[in-house]
Structure 1
Amino acid sequence: MERSNSDKPGFLERTRNHPLTTSFTLLVTLSVGILAGSVLTRNVSGKEQQNVDSSDARALVIPSPVTLSNGFSQIVKQVGPAVVNINTESLPKQSATPKKGRRRGQPGGGDDDSQQQGDMQDFFNRFFGGQGGGGGDDDSDGPGGGERRALGSGYIVDSRGYIITNNHVVDKADKIFVKLAGDPENEPGRPAKVIGTDKETDIAVIKIESKESLPTVKLGNSDGAQVGDWVLAIGSPFGLSQTVSAGIVSAKNRSIDEGPSASGVATNQFQRFIQTDAAINPGNSGGPLVDMTGNVVGMNTAIYTQSMGSQGVGFAMPSNTVASVYNMLIGPEHKVIRGSIGIQFQAGQSSAVGRVYGFKNGVMVSVITPGGGAAKAGLQPQDVIVSVDGRSIKDGDDLVADISSRRVGSTVQLGYLRDGKERTAGVQIGDRAKLTSDVASADDDNGGSPQESDAGQNKLGIKVAAVPAPMAKKLGISGGVIVTDVRPGSFADENGLGKGAVITEINRKPITDETSYRNVVNGLQSGADVVFVVRYANSPSRGSSFVGGTLP
């Protein structure tokens, strides 16, 4: 029987019966198609290129320059020529004495003065110092160290060549070179000499010689700068001269907390900054911070960073401070002379101290410097200074700003409290530099293994023991207890009462031994203000510190 057409195998059935043959056929078909398409496309493309006609195309025309409404460019043209690049060279030196290992003191106990200044200088060098050469860190000094270079910025304030910059830019430099805006890039710059420096405000004045009159900046009044005002930072970040960044004034009267020295004096108590979010980077240090009138309202000095670059938190020394220091540095003595009455005090005291000792505003004296004006006038530790020449004193910063600006040899009338009673005394202003140099530093390790006591662990979170006789003698005290252990998160820990602190009073009650300590502590109630008077054996000249808070 013949098979009908419907009995013939279909395409799908043939594909299933002969898969290899079918695949080969499809592959050949696709290859032929691709080759044909390529040839056709090439022929078409070639024809298009040969036959293209662009005679009707119009050439692009560059328009004339347009001055935008933004005033930044005008300010930069005005200030930029007076902003300079500063590069320094420090030659290797042989250390006179071997370097000692650095250590940090206990909380509230103070650190070695050279340690604190070194830490501050390391901070500045790291973020504003040399590019790839150590940035001014003294640790590389010595016979094995090579020549080191550092970069910074500055600005001309006198057409005869006087330039303001940061002290840490030129500190310890053997050679200083200044490059003006129009100087060749491949030359080191013009040699400069140091006129004067002030480490306490980190300000320096240098000078270059010039036959022609140099461009200068206009100094503004930093008191007029307001939070939210636009500002420009100009300088040489990473060596890139004449770099401009814009931002606003983020805050005023900021301090960078570097802590006190061994003498109890804050190493940066004359440094109150304008904070800005204008990008400031290594190399910007010493450059101007300019307001929208083109006036310099600050000098870029420091940044907070975790990335070695700008994170929007920069600090500039206010122009009013810069001008005051500059005027003294260009004087005959080329140094800054500040007044002092010869006292030390603890900054940032708890409000509980004022409540327990009966004052709201004022400064509690910790140490009286022998031979100073306060000592001669009869002031004593724990006196509270509340006024100067009849003007009320708010805090330690207010007192320092008032006294330091007064002429050495003049007299002020101090109002103070002693045992809650108001008194007055005429105090002569002395030279702060001479008085502080007389304060002896005595940083010795604590000794002894005192027997511990369990009193106060529950309420205060500390263990104490009797003060060893050698330590009491060194501190000049007849009794007290020493903190031998502090429980993390306890009342003592949260209020800064650290291990090694010697407690001499609690809430104005003398602590002579462990028994008197237990008696006072047992009487403390929840919600009460508690203030400790403490001393530290690693800095005996610091005097008494006051640690306080409200007992939970």
Structure 2
Amino acid sequence: MSAFGVRRVSAAIAVLAAVGLALLAIPLEHGTTDASAPAQVTTSVVAPPAPPPVVPLAPEQISERVVPTIVTITARTGLGMTAGTGIVLRPAESAAVVLTNHHVIDGGQEITAKSMRDGAAYPVEVLGYDSSRDLAVLRLPGGAALPTAALGSSRTARVGDPVTAIGNAEGGGVPQSAPGAVTRLGVTVLTRNSSDGSRNELAGLIEVNADVRPGDSGGPLVNAFGEVIGVSSAGNAVQRDEPSAPAPQSYAIPIDSAMEVVDQILAGRTSDSVHIGPTPQLGVGVRDHVEPQAGTPSGAQVVQVSYRSPAEGVGLARGDVIVQFGGVPIRTASDLTIRMNALHPGDLVDVSWVDAAGAQRSGSMVLTEGPPR
């Protein structure tokens, strides 16, 4: 299956990871543009979603209940296009708040959404994201009237429970349902992004045997009552006509833990893994630099420098090892990622590094705005 995966080595700043279960954002075509993101949203007072039914729904009733509450998401990146799905959580002032996977919008220089209820198109603003947990929160200006999803609780899920994944399967813009059952709970998997091959570990997932497809990324996994209990994020899908295709095996982020991230982002609280607002761009790809004798990380080694980026402007080059950034010691590539999560475009940052000849160097740069990473 294509990869819902996550984190990429990128020009904004990325860390090289390892291993992988292939997942779901579907690449479409090449092109680039730009997206920006405010930091907070204030919700308006509206009628709550319809109460859950008292008896399980038929498949067509589940579809009727869920489809109007999801949107297709398309992101144009430097590598092409990705397509995924988003869940409408709540209205905001003249807008809608939507939950999706981080890998759906990762690197997105132009991101758009369309309602699966009526096909209406909306621009997308990225409010924040947690790449390590593969979650992103979006704002759709003009989408305040979109129906909102009925949220259940992932804590009620049990092995054997019937479930249905619904989304933008294969990126065609047509909602499709994939019925199945819960097969395991609390699963940890290593995921791989189909667009760039980057990898990430996701923990505490709900495993199901529904045939989740590329493009379903970020869509809802619902119970027999049409309540969202998870966010589809990973799977093993292959071409349907593959002669030796494995049994479907897909994974969803529990909605309870996903909503903790949503609440943190809407409150504007950054953390080691959560970034709020527009993404700052440094313009390097990095990996851990390990001291040959000690065998321990001693900085973030530059493996790529983007043209006309802040990093290039300050003199960073491939092979240099960043050892301090913004007044914080850097011992690993992850240290640099964590530091970048707390920064924003326009911030002035001091950086110190060791060049390929072993000389100590330093400089100051102003971070520019880049796509979400």
**TM class by shorter-chain length?**
0.5 to 0.7
Displacement after TM superposition at 1:88 (Å): 1.2
Which residue of 108, 119, 123 maps to 1:173? 108
Determine if contact 2:152/2:229 at 8 Å carries over to the other structure: yes
State whether structure 2 residue 149 is matched by structure 1 residue 217: yes
State whether structure 2 residue 289 is matched by structure 1 residue 442: yes
Identity of aligned residues (%): 27
Which residue of 83, 94, 97 maps to 2:70? 83
Unpaired stretches in structure 2, ≥5 consecutive residues = 1-55, 193-198, 275-286, 298-331, 335-373
Between 195-204 and 305-314, the greater mean CA deviation after superposition? 305-314
Please show how residues 269-288 of structure 1 align to structure 2 within 5 Å: 271-288=203-220
Which residue of 291, 316, 321 maps to 2:252? 316
Partner of 1:303: 235
Unpaired stretches in structure 1, ≥5 consecutive residues = 1-68, 93-135, 137-147, 260-265, 340-439, 447-470, 477-538, 542-552
- Matched to 2:68, the amino acid is P
Determine if contact 1:86/1:179 at 8 Å carries over to the other structure: yes
Two-structure CA RMSD over aligned residues (Å) = 3.1
State whether structure 2 residue 278 is matched by structure 1 residue 291: no
Report the Cα distance in structure 2 between the residues aligned to 1:295 and 1:223, rounded to whole angstroms. Answer: 13
Q: Secondary structure at the match of 2:289?
A: coil
Report the Cα distance in structure 1 between the residues aligned to 2:259 and 2:204, rounded to whole angstroms. Answer: 14
Report the Cα distance in structure 2 between the residues aligned to 1:211 and 1:313, rounded to whole angstroms. Answer: 33
Displacement after TM superposition at 1:304 (Å): 2.2
Determine if contact 1:303/1:310 at 8 Å carries over to the other structure: no
CA, structure 1 residues 207+70, in 2 after alignment: closer, same or farther (shift >3 Å)?
A: closer
State whether structure 2 residue 59 is matched by structure 1 residue 72: yes
Report the Cα distance in structure 1 between the residues aligned to 2:150 and 2:216, rounded to whole angstroms. Answer: 19
Determine if contact 1:176/1:192 at 8 Å carries over to the other structure: yes
Partner of 1:250: 183
Displacement after TM superposition at 1:267 (Å): 5.2
CA, structure 1 residues 224+245, in 2 after alignment: closer, same or farther (shift >3 Å)?
A: same
CA, structure 1 residues 442+310, in 2 after alignment: closer, same or farther (shift >3 Å)?
A: same
Determine if contact 1:166/1:285 at 8 Å carries over to the other structure: yes
Report the Cα distance in structure 2 between the residues aligned to 1:150 and 1:211, rounded to whole angstroms. Answer: 22
Q: Residues 189-214 of structure 1, C-alpha deviation per residue, up to 9 Å, x if partnerless? A: 31111000001110000111126522
Q: Secondary structure at the match of 2:217?
A: coil
Q: Secondary structure at the match of 2:146?
A: coil
Please show how residues 6-405 of structure 1 align to structure 2 within 5 Å: 71-90=58-77, 92=78, 136=79, 148-160=80-92, 161-184=96-119, 189-210=121-142, 212-240=144-172, 241-257=174-190, 268=201, 271-305=203-237, 307=239, 311-333=247-269, 335-336=270-271
Q: Residues 278-335 of structure 1, C-alpha deviation per residue, up to 9 Å, x if partnerless? A: 11010000000000122100000001245588841000001111111110011124x3
Report the Cα distance in structure 2 between the residues aligned to 1:76 and 1:306, rounded to whole angstroms. Answer: 24
Displacement after TM superposition at 1:183 (Å): 3.5
Please show how residues 512-531 of structure 1 align to structure 2 within 5 Å: none
Q: Residues 120-160 of structure 1, C-alpha deviation per residue, up to 9 Å, x if partnerless? A: xxxxxxxxxxxxxxxx5xxxxxxxxxxx2110011100023
Report the Cα distance in structure 1 between the residues aligned to 2:111 and 2:296, rounded to whole angstroms. Answer: 46
Q: Secondary structure at the match of 1:219?
A: coil
Report the Cα distance in structure 1 between the residues aligned to 2:223 and 2:166, rounded to whole angstroms. Answer: 11
Determine if contact 1:198/1:336 at 8 Å carries over to the other structure: no
After TM superposition, the score normalised by the length of structure 1 is 0.36
Displacement after TM superposition at 1:226 (Å): 0.4
Q: Residues 316-360 of structure 1, C-alpha deviation per residue, up to 9 Å, x if partnerless? A: 001111111110011124x34679xxxxxxxxxxxxxxxxxxxxx
Displacement after TM superposition at 1:442 (Å): 2.6
Report the Cα distance in structure 1 between the residues aligned to 2:216 and 2:228, rounded to whole angstroms. Answer: 15
Determine if contact 1:299/1:318 at 8 Å carries over to the other structure: yes
Determine if contact 1:329/1:336 at 8 Å carries over to the other structure: no
Displacement after TM superposition at 1:89 (Å): 1.1
Report the Cα distance in structure 2 between the residues aligned to 1:213 and 1:258, rounded to whole angstroms. Answer: 35
Determine if contact 2:181/2:208 at 8 Å carries over to the other structure: yes
- Matched to 2:185, the amino acid is K
Displacement after TM superposition at 1:257 (Å): 3.8
- Matched to 1:165, the amino acid is T
Report the Cα distance in structure 1 between the residues aligned to 2:234 and 2:143, rounded to whole angstroms. Answer: 34
Between 195-204 and 234-243, the greater mean CA deviation after superposition? 234-243
Report the Cα distance in structure 1 between the residues aligned to 2:57 and 2:268, rounded to whole angstroms. Answer: 44
What is the count of residue pairs matched by the alignment?
Answer: 218
Q: Secondary structure at the match of 1:75?
A: helix
Q: Secondary structure at the match of 1:315?
A: strand
Which ranges of 4 or more aligned residues in structure 1 deviate by more than 3 Å? Answer: 305-311, 335-339, 473-476
Higher RCO structure (Cα 8 Å, ≥6 apart) = 2
